[in-house]
Chain A
């Protein structure tokens, strides 16, 4: 079945550590996105990519980094520079820009 796979589902990190969240899609979609979700805040865009080897900052990119070396993969690194990294992270993809988004199941990151 086609879809988006995020891993790990749960992740714990000590302060000062970088952590990478995986996002893989087999939908052959061009565009991929990372959102952060906090209670009562909706979804806020971190980074997005419309094509391989290219990506743009979203509204809250500080403290995060991404890469897009393959069409199907868009990993997100939460760096130690992110002041408040505890959150639920959602990866999504779309066939083209402004197409409907297909979401993964999410990754919950907790900083201890």
Chain B
């Protein structure tokens, strides 16, 4: 069955430090891949998406993600985090032969001043 795993429930980084949030998926073929961000009590906003082509994807707010087929991963990165990046981040996959997008359980990012 298709699945999405975000191994880290919480991550804490200092402001200005680099960030990497991990996402692994299980699927027999290359799915569509997404990263969303959610501020407390709000809806989700799309950061970036991968459908095909260049495996390094640029998104909004200075985020990027790299699709690695051999590792079934789609990790999210940012070179220097800001206090406003504190939020919950969700990885999602959209299997191409199905019609439902599956979400990981999320990683909550905390920023130290």
Contact = CB atoms under 8 A, between A and B. Distances in A.
Contacts of A40: 9, 105-106
A103 B94 contact: no
Given A40-B9, A43-B90, A101 B42 contact: no
Given A98-B96, A100-B34, A90 B104 contact: no
B52 to A, nearest CB: 13
Nearest to A6: B43
Interface in A68-104: 90, 92, 97-98, 100-104
B44 A98 contact: no
A48 B100 contact: yes
A90 B43 contact: yes
A98 B49 contact: no
B101 interface: yes
Interface in A13-69: 35, 40-43, 45, 48, 50, 58
Interface residues of A, number: 23
A45 B94 CA distance: 13
B44 A101 contact: yes
Interface string B89-113: 0100010100111011110000000
Nearest to B31: A98
B44 A90 contact: yes
Contact of B41 (A35, A41, A92, A106): A106
Interface in B55-113: 90, 94, 96, 99-101, 103-106
A91 B46 CA distance: 14
Nearest to A3: B43
Interface of A: 4, 6, 35, 40-43, 45, 48, 50, 58, 90, 92, 97-98, 100-106, 108
List the 8 closest pairs (A to B, CB-CB), nearest first. A103-B43, A42-B105, A43-B103, A97-B99, A98-B94, A103-B44, A42-B103, A105-B43
